[in-house]
């Protein structure tokens, strides 16, 4: 755990070849993000999904599918975490990948948390629209308050003007 609370790798000696889905389902329930556990293949280069919340078109989990050769895989192979946009199974995602190391420091797998880029952009757009609406509302309230304050301040002057006009 880094001082800022982030995690840049996990040490897990004896990473199993198979998982039940509770680890990724629990991660998704807590974070709202899709979660995946990868295991490094015997070739030491390729990663395969062993547990995931990602689904194929037919609704089955995308278990057994490889991590495509990309900048995330390159970073993981160097024992580094990766944050950025990646195409995952044909869909663009905002991602964070964290390497899993054995006690000897060798990369044996990875964890990833992903969110569809479009979902993330929609959330950002909705937040910006809400902030804009709140800003307009605050501006209208400020203008109305200013109008009534100026009117109240000018009331004695208007009264004096009427009195002088009657003389």
**Torsion of Cα atoms, 39 then 64 then 115 then 87, to 10°:** 100
CA-nearest of 94, 111, 120, 98 to 53 is: 111
What does the pLDDT profile of the chain (167 residues) look like in tens digits? 567 777 777 887 777 767 789 889 999 999 889 999 999 998 989 999 999 998 888 989 989 889 989 999 999 999 999 999 988 767 788 899 999 998 888 999 999 998 886 655 566 677 777 888 888 888 888 888 888 888 888 888 877 888 887 77
Q: Which two tokens stand for residue 65?
A: 């599918």
Tell me the sheet residues that pair with 7: none
| Residue showing tokens 């797998």 | 109
Tell me the sheet residues that pair with 21: none
Residue 63: C-alpha distances to residues 19, 56, 76 (Å): 10, 9, 19
Q: Which two tokens stand for residue 7?
A: 């995690």
114-108-117 Cα angle (round to 5): 10
Tell me the sheet residues that pair with 74: none
46-86-50 Cα angle (round to 5): 40
């Amino acid at each position: 755990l880094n001082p800022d609370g982030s995690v840049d790798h996990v040490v897990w000696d004896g990473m199993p070849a198979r998982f039940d889905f509770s680890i990724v389902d629990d991660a998704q329930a807590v974070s709202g993000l899709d979660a995946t556990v990868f295991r490094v293949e015997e070739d030491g280069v390729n990663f395969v999904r062993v547990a995931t919340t990602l689904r194929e078109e037919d609704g089955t989990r995308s278990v057994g599918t490889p991590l495509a050769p990309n900048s995330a895989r390159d970073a993981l192979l160097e024992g580094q975490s990766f944050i950025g946009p990646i195409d995952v199974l044909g869909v663009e995602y905002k991602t964070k990948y964290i390497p899993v190391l054995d006690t000897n420091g060798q990369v044996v797998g990875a964890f990833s948390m992903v969110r569809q880029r479009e979902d993330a952009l929609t959330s950002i757009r909705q937040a910006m629209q809400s902030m804009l609406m709140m800003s307009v509302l605050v501006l209208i309230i400020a203008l109305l308050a200013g109008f009534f304050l100026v009117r109240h301040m000018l009331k004695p002057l208007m009264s004096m003007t009427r009195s002088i006009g009657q003389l």
